[in-house]
Amino acid sequence: MYNIPKLSIVGAGPGDPELITIKAVKALQSAQVVLYDALINRELLEYAPQAKHIFVGKRKDKHRYSQDEINELIVKYALEQGHVVRLKGGDPFIFGRGSEEIDYARSKGLETAVVSGITSSIAVPANVGIPLTKRGVSESFWVITGTTSKRKLSADVKLAAQSTATVVILMGMAKLAEIVEIFSGFGKQDIPVGIIQNGTTLNERFGFGSIKDIEKVVEDKQLSAPAIIVIGEVVKESHYLQAVVQNLQALPKTSKVRISQIDAA
């Protein structure tokens, strides 16, 4: 049987293996090769037992493959095997370089598809009871990368610090001191801050404070990357919503067996 060379960029969600979409599961079930990132839950690979699994993840200063090499692997395996799933944490189009991989694959004549994932920028705060918006508290939110391609803090942080919006910063732990300095410079020393490490996973840890003391909170609780930084008045809501979130988490979980039995598209 001839397999048409195809790339599917698939969002794996924020870490909890149950926070993956049915469409993503179907893509994994039909894959011949899965190229997966560092932050995806390895349990998800069980949905593709027939596929070759290749780790291509990047962590701080530790890259198994460069982006150019990943692009070449996508094309190589698609031409040799057929359907390649590029499994990426969160949503592949939120700081995930998914669009770059799609562009490259199309330039080489591959069929392409995208399966959105639940982004950590929304799901991780929600998991500890932080609503990014709430009537009368926050009308909007920013999602900003803490580290740009030039390894600098995004200039958008300074713009966001001047707004009343909730600010969510991904990949920003190494730049926390700079973030604190920027918000303090605009007189926002007392604005609430929440930091969630390994959000939605069994290893989830978090700390709450304000701009003026969040660095001490991080030190005391020994929080580190990967973590999400949430800045804004809505962080206060977490204390009121914790009981609600815990009650929801106590409900029986969806059977993974049922999901795994979904027919591949």
Q: CA dihedral in degrees (197, 198, 200, 203; nearest 10)?
A: -100
Burial class (CB in 10 A: 0-12, 13-18, 19+), 226: buried
What tokens were used for 65?
């493959």
Q: Are 138 and 166 in contact (CB under 8 A)?
A: yes
- Closest to 125 (Cα-Cα) out of 175, 193, 180, 199: 199
Q: Are 120 and 145 in contact (CB under 8 A)?
A: no
Verify whether residue 37 is a known catalytic residue: yes
Three-state secondary-structure class, residue 193: strand
Q: Are 237 and 134 in contact (CB under 8 A)?
A: yes
DSSP string, 106-155: HHTT-EEEEE----HHHHHHHHTT--S-BTTTBS-EEEEESS-TTSS--T
Number of residues written out for the chain: 265
Verify whether residue 58 is a known catalytic residue: yes
CA–CA distance, 150 with 147 (Å, rounded to integer): 8
The catalytically annotated residue of 23, 58, 108, 134 is 58
The catalytically annotated residue of 37, 91, 175, 188 is 37
Verify whether residue 173 is a known catalytic residue: no
Longest alpha-carbon distance in the chain: 65
The catalytically annotated residue of 6, 88, 91, 171 is 171
Q: So which residues are the catalytic ones?
A: 37, 58, 171
